[in-house]
Amino acid sequence: MSALAKYLLKFGKKVGGSDAVSSEFTDELIEKGVKIDFGDENNIDDYEAVIYTDAVSESDIHMIRAKELNKTVISRGQFLYEISRCFKKVIAVSGCHGKTTCSAMLSHIFAAADKKFACHIGGKDLRFSNFYFCGNDFFITEACEYKKNFLRLKPNAAVILNSDPDHLECYGSEDELKKAYVSFADSADADFSLYKDIPDLKGINFGFDKSADYYAENIRITDGKCRFTAYEQRVKLGNVSLDVYGRHNVLNALAAMAVARFFYIPFEKIAEGLSDFKGVERRFEKLSEVGGVKYYADYAHHPNELRASLKTARRITRGKLYVVFQPHTYSRTKLLMNEFVKVLNPVVKLLVYKTFAAREYYDDSGSALTLSQKLKKCRYGDCPDDISDFMSEAEEGDTVIFLGAGDIYYIAKQVLNKNGN
Radius of gyration of the chain (CA): 21
| For the chain, counts of helices (H) and of strands (E) | 15, 20
Q: Tell me 60's DSSP state.
A: -
pLDDT at residue 421 is higher than 80? no
Let me know if 413 is exposed, middle or buried by CB neighbors in 10 A (0-12, 13-18, 19+): middle
Phi and psi torsions of 68, nearest 5°: -60, -35
Q: For residues 278 and 129, give the distance between their C-alpha atoms in angstroms, rounded to a whole number.
A: 12
Determine what percent of the chain falls in helix, strand and coil, rounding each to the nearest 5: 35, 25, 35
Let me know if 90 is exposed, middle or buried by CB neighbors in 10 A (0-12, 13-18, 19+): buried
- For residues 250 and 36, which has the higher predicted lDDT (pLDDT)? 250
Model pTM above 0.85:
no
Q: Give tens-digit pLDDT for 77-130.
A: 999 999 999 999 999 999 888 899 999 999 999 999 999 999 999 888 989 999
Q: Give tens-digit pLDDT for 307-360.
A: 988 988 998 899 999 999 999 999 989 999 999 999 999 999 999 999 998 768
Percent with pLDDT over 90 in the chain: 62
Q: For residues 167 and 157, give the distance between their C-alpha atoms in angstroms, rounded to a whole number.
A: 23
Confidence of residue 166 (pLDDT cuts 50, 70, 90): low
Confidence of residue 390 (pLDDT cuts 50, 70, 90): very high
- β-pair partners for 8: none
Asked if 274 contacts 242 with a C-beta cutoff of 8 angstroms, the reply is yes
Angle at 405 between CA 258 and CA 414, to 5 degrees: 125
pLDDT at residue 146 is higher than 80? no
Asked if 141 contacts 28 with a C-beta cutoff of 8 angstroms, the reply is no
| Amino acid 328: pLDDT | 92
State the average pLDDT for the chain. 90
Asked if 329 contacts 358 with a C-beta cutoff of 8 angstroms, the reply is yes
Q: Which residues contact 323 (CB under 8 A, 6 or more apart)?
A: 310, 313, 344, 347, 349, 350, 351, 400, 401, 403
Confidence of residue 165 (pLDDT cuts 50, 70, 90): low
Between the two ends of the chain, the Cα-to-Cα distance in Å is 31
* 98: amino acid identity, one letter: G
